[in-house]
Amino acid sequence: MPPSMMKQHSLIFLTGFSGSGKSTIGPLLANSLGFEFIDLDKAIEQAAGKSINRIFSEDGEAAFREQELKTLETIVSGRDLVVSLGGGVLENDRCFTLLRRQGTLVYLKSSPEILTMRLQHKTDRPLLKGENGSRLPRAEIEARIAALLAKREPRYLKADIIMVTDSKKIGSTVEELTRKIERHIRKAARNNKKEK
C-alpha cells in the first residue's frame, strides 16, 4: 500500500469489551500492517506511575477517565499505530469524538458468555470485582458483563469495522481484519481525493 494512502488513516483503534481479544490481536495486527502497537492501559499506567487498579482505588474512576483522555490526546499525534483501548473509553464523549475523528475504529465483538469464560479468573479488572475487591461468582460476573455490554455496545457499534472474535482462530481473525482495514483505508483515501 502506498505510504501516502496510509498517512491519513494510519491510526487503528481496537475497541471492545475486556476479554474481546484486543491485547492478543493488537500486536499481531500491528505486525501484519507494519505498524507499532500501543496498549492504552499500559500507557496510562506509565504516565500515572501506578497500576490501573491503584488509580481506581486511590483516585476513583473519574480521575482514571481524565488520565485516559490525556494519554489518548498524546497518542493521536502519532502515526502508523494500532492502539488497544480500554473497554470503557468510548463512554467518554470527548474520547469517542477524538477517536472517530483521528483514526479507524475497530470493534472486536464477543458475546457475554464467551467474555465471562475468558474473564472469570482474571483479578485485574476493577469493574468485575465485588465492593471489597473480592472475586465475584461466575453468574454475577456474566450478569455484570451483560449489563456493561448493553450500556457500551451502542457506541461500539459505531465503529468503522466490526469483527466477531468468538470462535475464529487468532491467525485467521488477524488476516481477515488486515484485509478489512486495508479496504477501509483505500476507500477513505478515494473519498478524500474526491473531496479535494
Binned at pLDDT 50, 70 and 90, residue 7 comes out as very low
Q: What is the number of residues in the chain?
A: 196
- Domain extent listing, the chain: 12-195
- Name the residue with cell 477517565: 65
Beta bridge partners of 15: 107
Q: Exposed/middle/buried for 56, CB within 10 Å: 0-12, 13-18, 19+? A: middle
Per-residue pLDDT at 99 = 92
Q: What's the whole-model pTM score?
A: 0.85
Superfamily grouping for domain 12-195: P-loop containing nucleotide triphosphate hydrolases (3.40.50.300)
Q: What is the distance between the alpha carbons of residues 110 and 181, in angstroms, rounded to a whole number? A: 19
